[in-house]
Amino acid sequence: MSFLMGKSGVVKGSLLKLVEGKNLIGQDDGNCLILLESNLNKKPLFEITVSNNHVKINNLSKENIFLNGNNFEKDSLKENDEIEINSDFFRYISDEKSIISTEDGTLFFCESDRFIILENKEKFKNISETENKIKDSFYETGNILNSSGSAKSFVENIDNVIVKKFPESSFLFILWDEKESAFVKINKNSSEKFNISRTLFSTVLSEKKAILSQDIFKDSRFRNIESLHGQSINSIMCAPLLSHRAILGIMYVSFSDFLYEFNKNDFDFFCRLAFQASIALENVITKESLNKENNTLRKTINSERPFIGKSAAIEKIFNLIKRVAPTDLNVLIRGETGTGKELAARMIHDNSRRKDNPFICVNCAVLSENLLESELFGHVKGAFTGALENKTGKLEQSEGGTLFLDEVGEIPIKTQVKLLRFLQEKEFEKVGSNKKIKLNVRIISATNCDLEEAIKDNLFREDFYYRLKSFNILMPPLRIRVDDIPMLVDFFIKRFCEENNRIVPTVSKDAMEILQNYGWPGNIRELKNIIEECLVLNMDSVINKNDIFLSDFGLGGKACDKGKNLSFREAVFQFEKTYFSELIKDAGGNITKASKISEIDRTHLHNKLKKYDINPNQYR
């Protein structure tokens, strides 16, 4: 029986039993002994053939492999012959008596008057499995570090990785603090007395390289550093966290127990971890910086008025938002298309206690019943055909913040029931799951539908309606905000010119009068579109009345607004009947086309046509 014993390098202290026949050594998984050096050829490096009492070695590669210090192609192996591959040395042992096994399974190699301890593991037979575990470990570590949302969670995550890998060690993390313009010590689980040597710290900073000292008492670099000896430290590793800009921090880990010391594999792990940590930490710092800038901008925006105008109608909206924003009441925002319902919802969120948490929007009109349910509540894998993985719904994404349900009048009855339960219990179940998820989410909804009429037609649940309508805001149409039109026009012109590097034109008195006398059925959205169209077609320094193209429908709408003795409900009825008649006429009686033009769901459009007794066939 013969053996190959690792004498030095990565393979030191390991033993490979050579079997009868061919024994291949290399990096490939198919070899019986697998070397992990990344710079070696993947093919077998050499072959040891055992036949009866004859053992031969055959060099299969062009790598620098030496037998007893000499190059070779083929040769016989004799007792104590040494094979060198890079920095790894093997010794060939043919005398089985040289290997002594104790009762606990420990192996010793007897060499003259001393014993060399060997690992009682089939190390090389399982080394490919070890390599895969290393890869999996770093993949998992990368995911853990990259999931850090803040510097605090990053330190906790990296501390957990170190504790798991080196449970008997002490770990210190030093982070650069921009505010203090200094490095700050953070040691989550270690004693407050645990410090890093100034000499070691300065060395890592200046050289920007990781340091390993397996035994500081034998290491000439640190033998005389009192701060290390005073803490009874015997083995240390220290690595800088580098970015393209500067040193972000330093990781430092040590053993005080003389039974433990770091080896080359530990140092390789630590250096890889430092590399991963550098990337993750830079991402965290960038994210925190962006969040800080975002919050600053948000505060600046919140200190201003997001709505443009000073009319009595818009002032009333400001006051309502100011009153309801600090509360957690559900808000129903009503009004025509283009009046700024989403903007009002965002203003409520941005001035509430939830402003630092998510504001999530869902347009309930553009999704089918099943898709909407999945979009809102999420689903588990296998819940339905095509559910190939778990999905987090918009409700869950809004945790701690606000969910804005736009076009809430288009939500199917079945989904209304599930949302009603959430509004009542603050909990829900994902599609395909029975597990209840409890959330803290504020609901703001918006619609341009007549929900009271929808309730009468059994298209909208009354209990759901009252849950949504804890507080009601009615957005004013632009046609009753005539005094705000000059300010809005000025805003849209300046924004367009700034974005397109244009000189800002002025608006003639006649042109402004036309804009103020128009009915604006599309409200602010229509005004924005008309101004931008005008700027594209007209490159002059003045916008005249002939440059403005308005629809006949809007011009008719203005006359309608001046009708006397009309209640709001009557005015809405008159407006909607005219609107849908013109819509079907323009679409040539084609419901699909009308649905696309109006951005209204086909089912809801059918209901409106039925309500106002409009027959599409008349226009085909």
- The per-residue pLDDT for range 509-549, each reduced to its tens digit, is 989 988 988 888 889 989 999 999 899 888 888 998 888 88
Question: Which of 442, 474, 506 is a domain's end point?
Answer: 474
Please tell me whether residues 434 and 355 are part of one structural domain.
yes
**Domain holding 77: CATH number?**
2.60.200.20
Angle made by CA atoms 608, 614, 620, in degrees to the nearest 5: 120
User: How many CB atoms lie under 10 A from the CB of residue 582?
Assistant: 15
Please tell me whether residues 398 and 257 are part of one structural domain.
no
* DSSP tag of 19: P
> For residues 426 and 105, what is the distance between their CA atoms, to the nearest angstrom?
60
Q: Kindly state the tokens that stand for 321.
A: 């938002």
Please tell me whether residues 533 and 595 are part of one structural domain.
no
Q: Assess if residue 540 is contained within a domain.
A: yes
| pTM for this prediction | 0.47
8-11, Cβ contacts within 8 angstroms, sequence gap of 24 or more: 8/87, 8/88, 8/89, 9/86, 9/87, 9/88, 9/89, 10/35, 10/36, 10/37, 10/87, 10/88, 10/264, 10/265, 11/35, 11/88, 11/89, 11/90, 11/124
The residues, any chain, with a CB within 8 Å of residue 466's CB and separated by 6 or more, are none
Predicted local confidence at residue 58, as pLDDT: 85
Judged on CB neighbours under 10 Å (0-12, 13-18, 19+), 444 is buried
> For residues 455 and 449, what is the distance between their CA atoms, to the nearest angstrom?
11
Q: Assess if residue 246 is contained within a domain.
A: yes
Q: Assess if residue 296 is contained within a domain.
A: no
> For residues 43 and 31, what is the distance between their CA atoms, to the nearest angstrom?
9
Predicted local confidence at residue 342, as pLDDT: 92
Question: Which of 513, 540, 561 is a domain's end point?
Answer: 561
Least Cα distance to 484 among 349, 316, 303, 323 occurs for 316
Q: Assess if residue 300 is contained within a domain.
A: no
Q: Assess if residue 454 is contained within a domain.
A: yes
- The per-residue pLDDT for range 470-488, each reduced to its tens digit, is 999 999 999 889 899 999 9
> For residues 595 and 575, what is the distance between their CA atoms, to the nearest angstrom?
18
Please tell me whether residues 51 and 170 are part of one structural domain.
no
**Domain holding 180: CATH number?**
3.30.450.40
For the chain, residues with pLDDT lower than 70 are 1, 8-15, 27-44, 62-63, 86-87, 95-152, 177-182, 185-196, 223, 226-232, 244-245, 257-259, 292-306, 551-572
* Domains in the chain, number: 5
- The per-residue pLDDT for range 275-313, each reduced to its tens digit, is 888 888 888 777 777 776 666 555 554 444 567 888 888
Please tell me whether residues 251 and 152 are part of one structural domain.
yes
User: What is the three-class DSSP state of 403?
Assistant: strand
Least Cα distance to 152 among 238, 281, 249 occurs for 281
**Domain holding 448: CATH number?**
3.40.50.300
Q: Which domain holds residue 41?
A: 2-124
Q: In which residue are the tokens 């953070």 written? A: 186
Please tell me whether residues 86 and 190 are part of one structural domain.
no
Q: Assess if residue 576 is contained within a domain.
A: yes
Please tell me whether residues 431 and 311 are part of one structural domain.
yes
Please tell me whether residues 343 and 416 are part of one structural domain.
yes
Question: Which of 561, 582, 601 is a domain's end point?
Answer: 561
Please tell me whether residues 377 and 269 are part of one structural domain.
no
Please tell me whether residues 459 and 316 are part of one structural domain.
yes
> For residues 195 and 24, what is the distance between their CA atoms, to the nearest angstrom?
49
Predicted local confidence at residue 192, as pLDDT: 46
Please tell me whether residues 545 and 575 are part of one structural domain.
no
Q: Assess if residue 298 is contained within a domain.
A: no
- Do 402 and 349 touch, CB atoms closer than 8 A? yes
Please tell me whether residues 265 and 138 are part of one structural domain.
yes
Q: Assess if residue 301 is contained within a domain.
A: no
The residues, any chain, with a CB within 8 Å of residue 147's CB and separated by 6 or more, are 157
